[in-house]
Structure 1
Amino acid sequence: MRFQRRAAAIGLIAAGALLFSACGSDNNSGGGSAPQAAGVTCGGKQALKASGSTAQANAITGFVNTFEQTCNGQTVNYTASGSGAGVNDFTGGQTDFAGSDSALTAAQTPAAQQRCASTPLNLPMVFGPIAVAYNVAGVTDLALDGPTLAKVFNGTVKTWNDPAIVALNPGKNLPAAPIVVNFRSDNSGTTQNFQNYLNAASNNAYGKPAAQTFNGGVGAGAKGSQGVTDATKSTPNSIAYIEASFAQKAQLPTASIINAGGGQPVPLSTDNLGKAIDAVKVTGQGNDLTLDLTSIYKTTTPGAYPISLATYEIVCTKYADPQTGTAVKAFLQTALSPQAQGTLTQGGYVPIPDAFKQRLSTSVNAIS
């Protein structure tokens, strides 16, 4: 399945200015009241418990606000603890669903199947760009590409005035200072997505396995998106990969990326990300909607921003407790509603294209 460009454009137009008016944090209250969502079958467990991805924390806030307005007395208590922790909580039976920046791995799936006693589903509910944020005095307009980023994050390119960076930034005053790489110290789907990008965009010049742990072998770790953001904000000559809304809130500059087609550097924006999502393919079977994002990482479309993630809700097809299944389905139905999708603009995310929303709706409605 491919995302249809027209549907993506509709979603992006609805998003308006999105990213550069967006700001958020794990503790964002979302502000204001969300309108009721139509077409939701409320009921079941009153208070769902979930944990995981910090990248989708702001999106979940909007979804929960709409859910509470739509289904009186029902809520979701979501802890933004990181994708790895979220999956562990879910497979350990401590939560009702998990948020993760990557689908279940082959190693994680058996534990999820055992926890569910049914088929676990990976449902990509939120899309957003990953920023390459940096802190270099006097440099507010930096261009990078996949091969150069791969060498920065595996330690091959060590200084800001390395010829590889200078060649992409003619006439800019780049210091001779060492590059300080900041990375997520906790298990993180953002880390896995970013390393997938580094390998794909550099023709494997990164040379490290893409996992939820950072494998570059260089730099300093910090816990969570906010931790990495704070470390970059306070450390001169540093660079990091973080979710776009965190970079925006911290007022950190973000690099423009030259995609696999060459040409002009592409600034980070959700409109530019939307240009890259056309060819995203579903690799999951049946109601499982695991995605292959390689087409984004290696996009050659002019003006397409190539670094993104899709955050999943990992759920059971059939819950042992029917009340839990009913409530999870109601929450995800709410998340797909126009009202909840409209709240995504507050956090710098891309609303789900209409064509793909239909397939998600089929999968959500199969939950029991």
Structure 2
Amino acid sequence: MLKLTSLALSVSLAAVTLTGCAQIGPAAPADGGDAISASGSTAQLGAINAWRDDFRSMHPGTRIVYRANGSGAGVRDFLRGATEFAGSDYVMGAQEHALADRRCGDRALHLPMVVGPIAVAYNLPSVPELRLSPATMAAVFGRTITAWDAPQIAAENPGAALPHKEIDVLHRSDDSGTSHVFTSYLRAAGGWPYPPSADWPGPGRGVEGSDGMAEAIRESGGTIGYVEYGYASGAGLRTAKVRNGTGEYVALSPEGATEAVEGARVTGDDGDLAMTLDYTTRQRGAYPLVLITYEIVCARGAAPLARGFLRYTASNAGQSYLSLLGYAPLPQDVVVQVRARLAAMT
């Protein structure tokens, strides 16, 4: 299992200061006084921390402050003009997008930048390998299945030493893009009765943040929850194999996430690169539970430093080592579109 770097795990999710900028295309200014702020998704924090190291040696005079306060909070910061861009694990709704356009005085764009598999992590020492279908997963997180040795779980895990123990279901208590993606998946693939939401709509025990989720699962036996791959890997958590549309149970991996995203479609308009994932994909080897983190930015008027930073993140250098951090690089056809949009920004 891939591990996050110690740097990515040691930085507080409350506020992260990134130094430097990328020299790609027109060089971003580095006069010692340039600074921008951004906020949002905790899912992409490991990637941003790694990108920072490259920038520090290139342009030590610039400063990028990224506050990992969750997708919903990041979008709100952007709407009120407090940040240059927002990291979001879900696409803004029509009302939010209209407000973002108004804030920009032009078009606000979703630019996909990071692909991350979501782990269904659990703490069950007697079960080193767990397999779950979407329907069983939805029943577990909806609390219609409440015991680890329930017939539905046992049928998918023949021979497993499932304990007669109550399942402790954990969910994010904060406004989370990961929750939005997870509930979207459960709804589309597993018959989840609640609408997709960044604010967890179902039962269970709430914990704050991705780091809080990973820690709670690690410390409490009988738990199950959902968290980005990097956090699960860094905490040494066991993760379930998830059944995709072919009936294949697939282990979580960046490669499996890439297979799933290959079938995604760009469904935004007027230059917006919002994408729609197929959570019931029949692609062999696809791990279907993935999120795409978008950088939400103004098509016109963004600071040169913000444009330079985002152009770097979409570059070959920025995308090349994401799999080492528990992410997956963007499909090449999507990268080409992102770079074209960034090149057209003024």
Same fold (TM over 0.5): yes
Counterpart CA distance in 2 for 1:251 and 1:300 is 29
Query: Which residue of structure 2 lines up, in the alignment, with residue 98 of structure 1?
Result: 86
* Structure 1, gaps ≥5 residues long: 1-18
Counterpart CA distance in 2 for 1:308 and 1:345 is 14
1:1-368 → structure 2 map (5 Å cutoff):
20-23=2-5, 24-25=8-9, 27=11, 38-43=24-29, 46-202=34-190, 205-216=191-202, 218-263=203-248, 265-293=249-277, 295=278, 297-319=279-301, 324-368=302-346
Counterpart CA distance in 1 for 2:165 and 2:330 is 42
Q: Residue 257 of structure 1 contacts residue 266 of structure 1 at CA under 8 Å; is this kept in 2?
A: yes
Secondary structure of the corresponding residue to residue 274 of structure 1? helix
Deviation track 1:276-327 (CA, whole Å, cap 9, x = no partner) reads 222110000132100001x2x11122221110000010111122xxxx5322
Alpha-carbon shift at residue 110 of structure 1 (Å): 2.5
Q: Indicate the larger mover: 37-46 or 267-276.
A: 37-46
Alpha-carbon shift at residue 37 of structure 1 (Å): 5.0
Q: 1:40 to 1:336 in 2, by over 3 A?
A: farther
Query: Which residue of structure 2 lines up, in the alignment, with residue 12 of structure 1?
Result: none
Letter of the aligned partner of 1:302 in structure 2?
Answer: R
Q: 1:157 to 1:26 in 2, by over 3 A?
A: farther
Alpha-carbon shift at residue 343 of structure 1 (Å): 3.7
Query: Which residue of structure 2 lines up, in the alignment, with residue 14 of structure 1?
Result: none
Counterpart CA distance in 2 for 1:122 and 1:219 is 32
Alpha-carbon shift at residue 221 of structure 1 (Å): 0.6
Deviation track 1:65-91 (CA, whole Å, cap 9, x = no partner) reads 333333452231101111111111111
Secondary structure of the corresponding residue to residue 186 of structure 1? coil
Counterpart CA distance in 2 for 1:326 and 1:287 is 20
Q: Which has the higher contact order (CA 8 A, sep 6+)?
A: 1
Counterpart CA distance in 1 for 2:155 and 2:286 is 21
TM-score by length of 2: 0.92
Counterpart CA distance in 2 for 1:329 and 1:266 is 37
Q: 1:366 to 1:152 in 2, by over 3 A?
A: same
Q: Residue 111 of structure 2 contacts residue 272 of structure 2 at CA under 8 Å; is this kept in 1?
A: yes
Q: Residue 260 of structure 2 contacts residue 283 of structure 2 at CA under 8 Å; is this kept in 1?
A: yes
Alpha-carbon shift at residue 21 of structure 1 (Å): 4.0
TM-score by length of 1: 0.86
Alpha-carbon shift at residue 112 of structure 1 (Å): 1.3
- Tell me the percent identity: 38
Letter of the aligned partner of 2:295 in structure 1?
Answer: E
Letter of the aligned partner of 2:210 in structure 1?
Answer: S
Deviation track 1:183-216 (CA, whole Å, cap 9, x = no partner) reads 11111111000111101112xx211010111112
Q: Residue 109 of structure 2 contacts residue 273 of structure 2 at CA under 8 Å; is this kept in 1?
A: yes
Alpha-carbon shift at residue 136 of structure 1 (Å): 1.1
Letter of the aligned partner of 2:99 in structure 1?
Answer: A
Letter of the aligned partner of 1:248 in structure 2?
Answer: S
Q: Residue 28 of structure 1 contacts residue 61 of structure 1 at CA under 8 Å; is this kept in 2?
A: no
Secondary structure of the corresponding residue to residue 276 of structure 1? helix
Counterpart CA distance in 1 for 2:332 and 2:20 is 21
Moved over 6 A (4+): 33-36
Letter of the aligned partner of 2:184 in structure 1?
Answer: N
Q: Indicate the larger mover: 141-150 or 91-100.
A: 91-100
Q: Residue 34 of structure 1 contacts residue 339 of structure 1 at CA under 8 Å; is this kept in 2?
A: no
* Structure 2, gaps ≥5 residues long: none
